[in-house]
């Protein structure tokens, strides 16, 4: 199903042109923390050498499919429920596996989708797309075709860009578990995927330009902001941020979003899954509870953690969790999310800093959908206000009451894709 004409024509902007104010700057964490073995100068030097020389190194490439004509691309996008109004090229899609670092700074591999336009040789501008939350390793761009997570990547390539989409750590062909909503590792995985794409592109007769257009949806909206922040801080010697277009993010995850979840303002089942994933994923990195029974009620205390192992599907998560947050959480579990303290509070502050601790110099637009049932729109208002305090007047693009399989949240990704493709394309022509 594609977005209706009335929804597209109802798209409206809030905010204005980017303020011509002095750019504020602050210290940024541009890579994951050093591992425990990096305590000596020699070990620290070895780790720095790995990050300089190893990160982004291409491990393998695999051609996945070719859509030889614009008509074939249009059919692919239509099968996923996306519009085809920006298609100008056929495309060829590859899966890249590359070296990066995990959430603790240790060497690991990850995968991603790289899609190129056909009959468009030479230097191309890269577009980095960060996808939304998935539970199974296959819920990632390089593992699916004609699906929700791969369609935006194909759409950008079909408009003439080199489209790059990290699967994230622990997703796709990456080993281990996915560190959900961990901005640092989402940033390193995204940046190193760009580096791998740049290394691979000459094999196809292409080269990537310096400026990168960055976008992402839902979880990927925060990941996109993290990547944009790193690029503007000079995290890579080649790539620079060209423009930034996050969609329907939970930018104040530890405040606005968790409050909405616990107050029943989100769709009930989404609230259950996000509450469970928050506790499980953050505990794996930050040790916020000793035993699942502290935060999850029986019988879920013995089953919920295993559901988020990357091998269970969304349908299995739906069947394996209760219908309400009150059935899932103990009093302590609810209190932990209501008033985070200690390691969880610290981790959430890092997650929520994507809009507050920097001032993008590149153009920014924030996309959202009225009545979003998963990421309440106050998140976008919060992000816009935070950027404005730092001197950046980022317009909000209200996509209206869009729908995708009964979800306005998912609908925002569909509606935003064509809009962002056109905006990025216009900027490329300037």
Sign, Cα dihedral of 258, 225, 189, 166: positive
Contact 351, 222 (CB under 8 A): yes
Rounded mean pLDDT of 391-417?
Answer: 97
Predicted TM-score (pTM) of the model is: 0.88
Per-residue pLDDT, 329: 98
CB neighbour list of residue 73: distance below 8 Å, 6 or more residues apart: 67, 84, 87, 89, 90, 91, 154, 158
Question: Which pLDDT band holds residue 233 (cuts at 50, 70, 90)?
Answer: very high
pLDDT digits (tens, 9 = 90+) for 113-169: 999 999 998 999 999 999 999 999 999 999 999 899 999 999 999 999 999 999 999
Per-residue pLDDT, 52: 56
Give CA separation, 303 vs 151, 307, 350, in Å: 33, 7, 29
Q: 329: which DSSP letter?
A: B
Percent of the chain whose predicted confidence (pLDDT) is above 90: 86
Alpha-carbon span 166 to 179, nearest angstrom? 14
Structure tokens at 91: 């495309």
pLDDT digits (tens, 9 = 90+) for 42-55: 444 444 544 556 99
pLDDT digits (tens, 9 = 90+) for 54-104: 999 999 999 999 999 999 999 999 999 999 999 999 999 999 999 999 999
| Higher pLDDT, residue 2 or 280 | 280
Rounded mean pLDDT of 372-377?
Answer: 97
User: From edge to edge, which strands make up the β-sheet containing 240-247?
Assistant: 12-14, 396-398, 366-368, 240-247, 206-217, 122-130, 162-166, 107-117, 91-101, 58-67
Rounded mean pLDDT of 223-232?
Answer: 98
Helix, strand or coil for residue 107?
strand
Q: Has residue 225 got a pLDDT over 80?
A: yes
Domains belonging to the chain, first-starting first, are: 5-19+42-252+357-429 (3.40.50.1820), 260-348 (1.10.260.160)
Per-residue pLDDT, 300: 98
Q: Has residue 375 got a pLDDT over 60?
A: yes
């Amino acid at each position: 199903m594609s977005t209706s004409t009335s929804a597209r024509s109802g798209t409206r902007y809030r905010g204005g042109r980017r303020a011509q104010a002095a750019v504020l700057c602050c210290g940024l964490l541009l890579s994951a923390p050093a591992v425990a073995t990096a305590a000596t100068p020699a070990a620290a030097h070895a780790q720095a050498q790995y990050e300089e020389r190893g990160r982004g190194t291409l491990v393998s490439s695999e051609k996945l499919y070719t859509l030889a004509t614009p008509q074939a691309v249009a059919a692919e996008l239509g099968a996923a429920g996306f519009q085809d109004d920006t298609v100008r090229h056929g495309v060829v899609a590859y899966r890249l596996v590359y070296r990066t670092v995990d959430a603790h700074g240790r060497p690991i591999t990850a995968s991603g989708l790289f899609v190129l336009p056909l009959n468009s040789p030479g230097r191309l501008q890269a577009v980095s797309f960060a996808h939304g939350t998935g539970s199974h390793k296959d819920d990632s761009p390089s593992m699916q075709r004609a699906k929700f997570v791969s369609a935006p990547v194909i759409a950008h390539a079909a408009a003439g860009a080199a489209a790059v989409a990290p699967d994230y750590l622990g997703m796709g062909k990456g080993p281990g578990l996915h560190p959900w909503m961990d901005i640092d590792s989402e940033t390193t995985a995204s940046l190193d995927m760009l580096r791998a794409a740049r290394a691979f592109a000459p094999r196809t007769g292409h080269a990537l330009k310096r400026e990168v257009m960055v976008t992402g949806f839902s979880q990927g909206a925060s990941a996109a902001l993290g990547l944009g922040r790193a690029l503007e801080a000079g995290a890579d010697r080649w790539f620079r941020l060209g423009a930034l277009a996050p969609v329907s993010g939970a930018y104040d995850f530890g405040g606005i979003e968790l409050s909405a979840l616990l107050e029943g303002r989100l769709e009930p089942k989404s609230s259950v899954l996000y509450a469970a994933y928050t506790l499980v994923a953050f505990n794996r990195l930050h040790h916020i509870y000793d035993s699942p029974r502290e935060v999850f009620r029986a019988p879920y205390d013995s089953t919920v953690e295993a559901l988020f192992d990357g091998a269970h599907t969304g349908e299995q998560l739906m069947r394996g969790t209760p219908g309400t947050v009150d059935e899932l959480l103990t009093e302590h579990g609810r209190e932990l999310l209501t008033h985070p303290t200690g390691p969880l509070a610290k981790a959430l502050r890092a997650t929520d800093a994507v809009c507050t601790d920097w001032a993008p110099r590149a153009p920014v637009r924030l996309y959202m959908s009225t009545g979003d049932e998963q990421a309440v729109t106050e998140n976008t208002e919060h992000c816009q206000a935070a950027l404005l305090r730092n001197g950046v007047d980022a317009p909000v693009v209200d996509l209206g009451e869009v729908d995708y399989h009964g979800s306005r949240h998912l609908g925002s990704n569909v509606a935003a894709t064509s809009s962002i493709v056109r905006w990025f394309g216009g900027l490329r022509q300037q």
